[in-house]
Amino acid sequence: MKTKYLSLLLVIIIVSFAFLWSAHSMINTQKAKIDKIDKKIKNSQEQLNSAKVLTQELSEVSKIINNTLTEDASLSDAEANNFVKDIANLCDRFQIKVVGLFPKISYSSNKILEQQFTVEVECTYVQLGRLLSSIEGYDYILKVNTLDVNPMNTSKEEGKLNGETLYRISLELSIFKIVKEA
């Protein structure tokens, strides 16, 4: 009788061990499948995020291209005035004193139009940096032709703003437009 109970106990232990081992292997198999699917989802999410960034960057490039293309043989006065207003608004936003802001000579070839602007301001280096980074972010093809920085008279209080030295800056910019081909 004792051997019968022992053999029954041994069969129960073996069956329990087999059951636990098969359950463990099935769980590990399913976990591996889940990990593979999770990795695919992660890669797909990264690709989606990259695609979103590229789409946003391409839309910005598209905006610049659309602003750059023109059918006119010269830059219109309205476009020049809008650019002058944009620069004046930037200077107001950064509390930069505008001394002069006017369009200059306009050049045109068969395919490219160039309008130059002269901007004269009085500001600190920090204000100049903010102005230049904002100008850089415009939806135009721009070129800074010259940048002339001269310190203002520092013996007077007029030459300082909040303890920082003021500079008279002369900036020559060019906007380029491309004539669309028929």
pLDDT of 42 reads: 92
Contact 167, 107 (CB under 8 A): no
Distance CA 66, CA 84 (A): 20
pLDDT of 114 reads: 86
pLDDT of 168 reads: 92
Q: Who's near 153: CB < 8 A, 6+ residues apart?
A: 159
Is the C-alpha dihedral spanning 103, 109, 113, 118 positive or negative?
negative
Q: List the structure tokens of 5.
A: 């109970």
Contact 122, 148 (CB under 8 A): no
pLDDT in tens, the chain (182 residues): 788 888 888 899 999 999 999 989 999 999 999 999 999 999 999 998 888 888 887 777 777 777 777 777 677 778 888 888 889 999 999 999 999 988 887 777 778 888 899 999 999 889 998 998 888 888 788 888 999 998 887 555 555 666 778 899 999 998 888 877 75
Please state whether the predicted TM-score (pTM) of the whole model is above 0.85.
Answer: no
pLDDT of 178 reads: 82
Give residue for tokens 């940096």: 129
> What residues form DSSP beta bridges with 143?
174
Q: Is 101 exposed, middle or buried (0-12, 13-18, 19+ CB in 10 A)?
A: middle
- With CA atoms as reference, report the closest residue to 124 among 160, 158, 171: 160
pLDDT of 155 reads: 56
Distance CA 36, CA 170 (A): 61
